[in-house]
Amino acid sequence: MPPKERNIAMMGYRSVGKSSLSIQFVEGQFVDSYDPTIENTFTKVTRVNSQDYSVKLIDTAGQDEYSIFPVQYSMDFHGYVLVYSITSKKSFEVIQIIYEKLLDVMGKKYVPVVLVGNKTDLHQERTVSTEEGKKLAESWRAAFLETSAKQNESVGDIFHQLLILIENENGNPQEK
Ligand code: GDP
Ligand code: MG
């Protein structure tokens, strides 16, 4: 079977690790300093449940509470990775604003999303609890994961879970 093409966008406040997670997933390495203003596109073929997917990953330069949701990210995307840092309350607040704008721009009540709390290796600096993240994701009917791009913890799971959510949505649109 040919790979299915899936377009995924990484969104979130600045410095939460969007680029680090993207590069860890695509290249299998942690890059310590990456230009925060760069917007990049990566592709990677990955297999889930014996199906190959060609993932086109857009690593956005980031959003804040004042950003107008970029319209180009509302078209032709199958799913979204919304990232905050467990060390930043601010990034957790901003991700909720980004999510609301996303639904608003798309005119939908449901969009396939994985909510990601990154930087679990910095547990001494944690300011957002696992419980808070989990509750937020439940309210969105999104998947939830805590990750460390630095230690390559649960990074592949983000994309696998999102591909499954996208697949389910396509299969059972009436349930959403
Ligand atoms: P972006 O602005 O969201 O793309 O964030 P970056 O990926 O550029 O990361 C911002 C900073 O956080 C960089 O200094 C990264 O090295 C660091 N960083 C990213 N992910 C992690 C992580 O999981 N653990 C730790 N300790 N640092 C991280
Ligand atoms: Mg970046």
Structure ipTM? 0.99
Which ligand minimizes its atom distance to the CA of 31? Answer: 1
Of ligand 1's listed atoms, the one at least distance from the Cα of 12 is: 3
Q: How far is the CA of 14 from the centre of ligand 1 (A)?
A: 9
> For the chain, what is the mean pLDDT?
93
Is the shortest distance between the CB of 88 and ligand 1 below 6 Å? no
Residue 34: pLDDT band (50, 70, 90) is confident
Residue nearest to atom 6 of ligand 1 (CA): 17
Asked whether 149 and 84 are in contact (CB, 8 A), the reply is: no
Q: Is the pLDDT of residue 171 over 60?
A: no
Angstrom distances, CA of residue 174 to CA of 47, 142, 147, 162, 165: 26, 17, 32, 19, 14
Rounded Cα–Cα distance for residues 155 and 77 (Å): 20
Q: Is the pLDDT of residue 5 over 70?
A: yes
Q: Is the pLDDT of residue 45 over 60?
A: yes
Tell me which residue of 88, 91, 82, 75 sits closest to 165, measured CA to CA. 82
Q: How many CB atoms within 10 Å of residue 28?
A: 10
Is the shortest distance between the CB of 20 and ligand 1 below 6 Å? yes
Q: How far is the CA of 3 from the centre of ligand 1 (A)?
A: 30
Residue 76 has a pLDDT of: 86
Of ligand 1's listed atoms, the one at least distance from the Cα of 34 is: 8
Q: Is the pLDDT of residue 173 over 80?
A: no
Q: How far is the CA of 27 from the centre of ligand 1 (A)?
A: 15
